[in-house]
């Protein structure tokens, strides 16, 4: 308050004889303060009511050595409690024969430390990067310039396969410029490239609902380093659709902050209202919904989300995506899109028990020679093959039961053992 403002309050006492206690109660100003104002007014008039500034204002009267000692303790990991820090400071002041600072002074020195320096010293470089190295929040310049895709395991238990409880997953594709949800898929089991392809299929192609206008092929698809996002399937799909695939920095989720925030909204606004929600005090809820029912609930929530005003945009995500009207880049047909997304060729290794694909095992007699067998199995197969060939030879080459003998008896020759051979026909 300047002198004029103080006089407007004090005048009620000086001219109107309002007691200072009443003024203090009505204005919230301390009665002792009002008494000091009144004394200064009687001594020097209205000009004496101006605030008096200390000559050492802004200067710390605590000894610099003690200030350094307090700051060092405040940056030590683990940091001592404030009461412990004050006690240690008093001990250091006594050792140096200096006046000990008050508790409030010690707290003020600690709180005046640079938050970035405190975070780096106490929490490490990772926490420092997450909080203080984000220079600005990026936003795409136009719709379909950048799409984000990510998975999350939902905090809800549903009735899965074989009537057993299961936690589903949600894959979402979001437009970075408008925050609009372009496509999603709900599934059980581990995330895979196929689930990502299904979400992209819904995001790219035109929806039957006219209110869900988002579609087209993005210029950039921003994903993390999950095995499904780094798969050959997604890489080939991105090449065929002319999409630039960009992976976020490992262990840095801030680049996907928009879609992570959407997942938080789904959890707080939707899942918390559904049966089977995994709340803090209920880790084993009874599942009620099945996968189609959950899919329908999430679809309704996505429609509501896209058509309600966004706090940061000031308009709805749908209106931000539509903008002034434009034509998205589209594939020639749905069949072409399905061929690119769902039938991308991928090399598979023939194992001992066949080929594994999408959680299924496939066997074929044609592929049997390519199986990895043991030496004993190889030798048995070789013997069986030799016996088969011998039987085939015997079937194709008949033997002669008797030969025409000469009239004169042959000379007696010593018997010698001859190897077993196949008899040939006499021509």
What is the per-residue pLDDT for 19? 86
What is the per-residue pLDDT for 359? 61
CA dihedral 142, 147, 148, 154 (to 10 degrees): 110
**pLDDT band, residue 186 (cuts 50/70/90):** very high
**pLDDT band, residue 337 (cuts 50/70/90):** confident
> CA–CA separation, 386 vs 354, rounded Å?
26
| Sign of torsion over alpha carbons 94, 98, 100, 104 | negative
**pLDDT band, residue 77 (cuts 50/70/90):** confident
Alpha carbon 235 to its chain centroid, in Å, reads: 20
> CA–CA separation, 252 vs 121, rounded Å?
20
The larger pLDDT score, comparing residue 380 to residue 266, is at 266
108-121, pLDDT tens digit by residue? 999 988 888 888 88
pLDDT at 368 over 90: no
What is the per-residue pLDDT for 318? 93
pLDDT at 332 over 80: yes
Q: Considering only 127-141, 210-224, 227-241, 297-311, which range has the smallest mean pLDDT?
A: 127-141
Phi first, then psi: what are they for 203, rounded to 5°?
A: -70, -40
pTM of the model: 0.52
Segment of 21-25, 45-49, 164-168, 334-338 carrying the highest mean pLDDT: 164-168
91-143, pLDDT tens digit by residue? 999 998 888 888 988 899 999 888 888 888 888 877 776 666 554 456 788 89
| Those residues with Cβ within 8 angstroms of residue 383's Cβ, 6 or more apart along the chain or in another chain | none
pLDDT at 8 over 60: yes
**pLDDT band, residue 251 (cuts 50/70/90):** low
Q: What is the mean pLDDT of residues 381-393?
A: 73
pLDDT at 341 over 80: no
What is the per-residue pLDDT for 427? 43
* Residue % of the chain over a pLDDT of 90: 18
Sheet arrangement for strand 146-153: 181-187, 169-175, 146-153, 220-223, 244-247
pLDDT at 58 over 70: no
Computed over every residue of the chain, the mean pLDDT equals 79
Segment of 58-72, 256-270, 276-290, 395-409 carrying the highest mean pLDDT: 256-270
* Residues 195 and 185: beta-carbon distance below 8 Å: yes
Q: What is the mean pLDDT of residues 249-261?
A: 66
> CA–CA separation, 81 vs 87, rounded Å?
10
What is the per-residue pLDDT for 315? 92
Structure tokens belonging to residue 249: 């920095």
In terms of DSSP bridges, do strands 220-223 and 244-247 run parallel, antiparallel, or are they unpaired?
Answer: parallel
The larger pLDDT score, comparing residue 258 to residue 299, is at 299
What is the per-residue pLDDT for 417? 62
Secondary structure (H, E, C), the chain:
CCHHHHHHHHHHHHCCCCCHHHHHHHHCCCHHHHHHHHHHHHHHCHHHHCCCCCCCCCCCCCCHHHHHHHHHHHCCCCCCCHHHHHHHHHHHHHHHCCCCCCHHHHHHHHHCCCHHHHHHHHHCHHHHHHHHCCCCCCCCCCCCCEEEEEEEECCECEECHHHCEECCEEEEEEECCCCCEEEEEEECCCCCHHHHHHHHHHHHCCCCCCCCCCCCCCCEEEECCCCCCCCHHHHHHHHHCCCEEEECCCCCHHHHHHHHHHHHHHHHHHHHHCCCECECCECCCCCCCEHHHHHHHHHHHHHHHHCCCCCCCCCCHHHHHHCCCCCCCCCCCHHHHHHHHHCCCCCCCCECCEEEECCEEECCHHHHHHCCCCHHHHHHHHHHHHHHHHHHHHHHCCCCCCCCCCCCCCCCCCCCCCCCCCCCCCC
Q: How many CB atoms lie within 10 A of CB 247?
A: 14
């Amino acid at each position: 308050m300047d002198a004029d403002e103080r006089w407007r309050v004090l005048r009620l006492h000086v001219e109107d004889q309002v007691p200072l206690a009443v003024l203090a109660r009505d204005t919230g100003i301390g009665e002792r303060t009002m008494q000091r104002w009144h004394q200064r007014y009687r001594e020097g008039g209205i000009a004496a009511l101006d605030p008096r500034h200390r000559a050492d204002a802004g200067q710390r009267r605590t000894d610099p050595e003690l200030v350094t000692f307090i700051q060092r303790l405040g940056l030590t990991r683990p940091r001592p409690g404030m009461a412990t820090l004050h006690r240690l400071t008093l001990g250091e002041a006594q050792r140096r024969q200096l006046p000990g600072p008050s508790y409030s002074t010690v707290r003020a020195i600690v709180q005046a430390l640079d938050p970035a320096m405190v975070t780096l010293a106490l929490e490490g470089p990772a926490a420092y990067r997450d909080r203080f190295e984000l220079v600005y929040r990026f936003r795409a310049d136009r719709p379909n310039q950048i799409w984000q895709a990510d998975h999350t395991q939902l905090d809800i238990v549903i009735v899965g396969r074989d009537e057993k409880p299961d936690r589903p997953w949600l894959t979402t594709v979001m437009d970075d410029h408008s925050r609009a949800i372009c496509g999603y898929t709900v599934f059980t089991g581990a995330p895979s490239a196929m689930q990502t392809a299904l979400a992209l299929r819904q995001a790219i192609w035109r929806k039957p609902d006219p209110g869900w206008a988002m579609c087209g092929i993005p210029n950039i698809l921003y994903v993390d380093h999950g095995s499904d996002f780094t798969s050959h399937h997604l890489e080939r799909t991105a090449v065929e659709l002319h999409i630039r695939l960009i992976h976020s920095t490992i262990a840095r989720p801030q680049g996907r902050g928009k879609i992570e925030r959407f997942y938080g909204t789904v959890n707080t606004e939707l899942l918390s209202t559904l049966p089977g929600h995994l709340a803090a005090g209920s880790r084993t809820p009874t599942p009620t919904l099945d996968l189609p029912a959950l899919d329908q609930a999430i679809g309704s929530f996505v429609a509501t989300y896209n058509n309600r005003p966004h706090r940061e945009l000031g308009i709805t995500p749908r209106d931000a995506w539509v903008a002034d009207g434009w034509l998205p880049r589209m594939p020639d047909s749905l069949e072409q899109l399905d061929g690119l997304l769902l039938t991308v060729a991928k090399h598979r290794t023939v194992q001992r028990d066949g080929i594994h694909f999408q959680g299924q095992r496939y066997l074929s007699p044609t592929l049997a020679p390519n199986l990895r067998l043991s030496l004993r199995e190889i030798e048995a197969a070789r013997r069986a093959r030799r016996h088969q060939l011998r039987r085939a030879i015997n079937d194709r080459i008949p033997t002669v039961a008797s030969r025409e003998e000469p009239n004169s008896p042959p000379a007696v020759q010593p018997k010698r053992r001859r190897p077993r051979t196949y008899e040939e026909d006499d021509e």
